[in-house]
Structures are given as C-alpha cells and as structure tokens.
Amino acid sequence: MATTAATPTTSTAGPPPPDSRRTRLRNLRGKIDVKLSPYLYISPFFILFAIIGLFPLVYTAYVSMHDWHLIGGQGDFVGLANYVDVVQQPRFATALRNTFSIFLLSSIPQVITAIVIAAVLDANLRAKTFWRMGVLLPYVVAPVAAALIFSRLFADQSGMINALLGYIGIDPIRWHSDAFASHIAIASMVNFRWTGYNALIFLAAMQAIPRDLYEAAVIDGASRVRQFFSVTVPLLRPTIIFIVITSTIGGLQIFDEPRMYDQYGLGGADRQWMTVTMFLYELGWGAQKSFGRAAAVAWLLFLIIVAVGLINFTITRRIASSGAAHPKGGAR
C-alpha cells in the first residue's frame, strides 16, 4: 500500500504587531471620546442642579407631607393634610390673587416696553454704548434699595407721585391702602429693575436679524413702523417665548419688592399686596412656624408656575407656528 507522508503544517498566526494594537486602541479611545465627552462637558451643570436644585425640591416634598415644626422638628406623617389646610386658608386665595395681579401688571408692560427700547437702541444713535449701559443700570441696583426708594415715592401723604398727580388735578391715591394701587406701585418696581435687562436680550436678538431683510423691505416701500411689525417682531418670536417664560417664573416668585414696600413687611394691614412667597414665609417663620405647611405652599407654587409656563409656551408657540405657516406678502 502506498502511504502518503503527512506534511507538517506551520501556523503563521501570531500575536498582532504592536502598531495594529495601538491603532485599535486609538480608534476605540476616539469613539469613546466622541460619544462620552459631550456628556462630560454638560455634566457639571446637572451635578450642581441635582445638589442645589433637585434634592431640595424632593426634600421639600418630603417635608410637606409631615407635621414639621420650626422648633420641634419632624413630626408625624400627615400625607396631603398640609396641602388641604393651606388651600382652605383665606389668605392663600388672597396671596394667589395678589401674585397674579402684580405678575400681569408687571410682565405685560415690561415685555412691550423692552421690545420698544431695544428697537430704539438698535437704531443709529450717537453714543450707543452709553445708552445700552444706561438701560442696565436699574438691574445693578439692589432690589431692597429700589423697594425702599419706590415705597417713599408712592407714599400716601408725602410721596412724589401724589405730588405730581396734584399738579394735573388728580386727587392723592392711597398707594398703601388700596389693593390695586399697591399692585401698580409694586409692579412699577419690577418693571424698573427688569425692563432694561430684557431690552438688552431683545437687542442681541435684533442684531442677529439679517440686514438684507430690512433692505428688501425698504425697496418694497415699507416704513420704519411697518418694518418693525413685519420683519422685527416675527423674527423675535423665539426670544419673546424665552422672555415670557422667564418673566413668568420670576413674576410668580416675587418677594423682595412687596416685602420691603412698607416697614412691617406683612403685605399690608389686610394683606392687600401679600404674595404667595410672602404667605410661605409667614407660615414657616411667622406665628405658626409650620415648615410642613410652608413646604406645601412651595410645592403648590411650583405646580402653578409649571402650569402657567406650559400655557404661555403653548400659546406663544402656536402664534409663532401660525405666523410661519401663513407668511404675509411683501411689506407695503
């Protein structure tokens, strides 16, 4: 029989060369870097938010479900009893009414005035930097100082506002006694401080609008006013949405101005300008010293702000989408 001799096979496979391993490691490290680095860049914000924002929010919800006293500390678990007790108190309804009244009297004129001021600053003015810095000066003033000054301006007997009204034949207004008048005075403090700040935000958005659009509008024969309403305002819709939402959050949390409007800081004799945050302060550090009820008010205010913010966002987004879906013709 013929036998075939087996030829030994030699394996050529061996450890990969060092260069190929380095290349694979480098590619793997590059993929990880591309996918992970964006999250690492934004992680400091979320870490800080979890520590100083999310944890206090969750802990406040925990406190709101206990009979927690300022001096006695944590008590029994009461569930939603604190929320029911807060809602049934007449001062909560009064504080809610005052908060929304001051919010509407300040936010709506503030946004409109800020857009107008930004449009003026966007024009060809001399000393542009001076005027732009000037509108920001009220924001630098401390809220307490502004509140003390305005409380004297709106004094019932010797205030400068009543003196000016007397020159045009208007009887003195009881700025500290009448509820609506006090809301106007406090709203004027808010507008004084925040209008210039919002105007600079609108100004930055206006400067980002392409100038070609204005040149085309001029060629079509559009006036300055027509350019403002047909070109500027439609392109400011994202910024308007942002300002409206931030104004909602800040306006419903107003505390410094009404707190310093008089020397007692209680919101008036009949609580005619007491806001929800002042009511929260009164529950937690006033006569009741109930942290549980104060935490319940804080959570109710949080839910109200979220609801109002969503409503504002929905309305403004619908207006923006309808304007984009039905564009107007050329300016005339």
Q: What is the pTM of this model?
A: 0.79
User: Is 156 found in the same domain as 25?
Assistant: no
Encoded tokens for 142: 């401390």
The reply to whether 58 and 95 lie within a common domain is no
- Do 55 and 185 lie in a common domain? no
What is the extent of the structural domain holding 206? 83-325
Q: Is residue 8 part of a domain?
A: no
DSSP 101-125: HHHHHHHHHHHHHHHHHHHHHTS--
321 in the same domain as 277: yes
Domain match, 55 and 98 both: no
Q: Does residue 6 lie in a domain region?
A: no
73 belongs to a structural domain: no
pLDDT, block means (10 residues), the chain with 332 residues = 48 58 77 81 89 89 88 83 92 93 91 91 82 86 86 86 87 89 93 92 91 87 86 87 88 90 86 92 84 93 90 74 50 40
Cα-trace Rg, the chain: 31
What is the pLDDT, as a whole number, of residue 233? 86
Q: Please indicate, yes or no, if residue 76 is contained in any of the structural domains.
A: no
Q: Which pLDDT score is estimated for 86?
A: 92
End residue of a domain, out of 36, 64, 92: 64
Same domain, residue pair 119 and 267: yes
Report the CATH number that the domain containing residue 273 is assigned in CATH.
Answer: 1.10.3720.10
Same domain, 92 and 46: no
Residue type, 163: A
Number of domains in the chain: 2
Of 31, 64, 97, the position where a domain reaches its end is 64
Does residue 50 lie in a domain region? Answer: yes
pLDDT score recorded for residue 14:
54
Domain co-membership, 26 together with 155? no
Q: Are residues 32 and 91 in the same domain?
A: no
Query: Do 100 and 212 have their domain in common?
Result: yes
In a domain, 74, yes or no: no
Where does a domain end: 64, 92, 122?
64
Same domain, 60 and 200: no
Compute the residue count for the chain.
332
Report d(CA 47, CA 43) in Å as an integer. 6
H-helix segments, the chain: 18-49, 55-64, 81-88, 90-121, 128-140, 143-153, 160-167, 179-207, 211-219, 224-227, 233-235, 237-252, 256-259, 276-285, 291-325
Q: What is the pLDDT of residue 1?
A: 45
What is the pLDDT at residue 23? 79
Same domain, 91 and 221: yes
DSSP character for 230?
A: I
β-pair partners for 73: 69
pLDDT at res. 12: 52
pLDDT score, position 330: 44
**Residue 188 falls within a domain, yes or no?**
yes
SS (H, E, C) 28-57: HHHHHHHHHHHHHHHHHHHHHHHHHHHHHH
Q: Does residue 103 form part of some domain?
A: yes
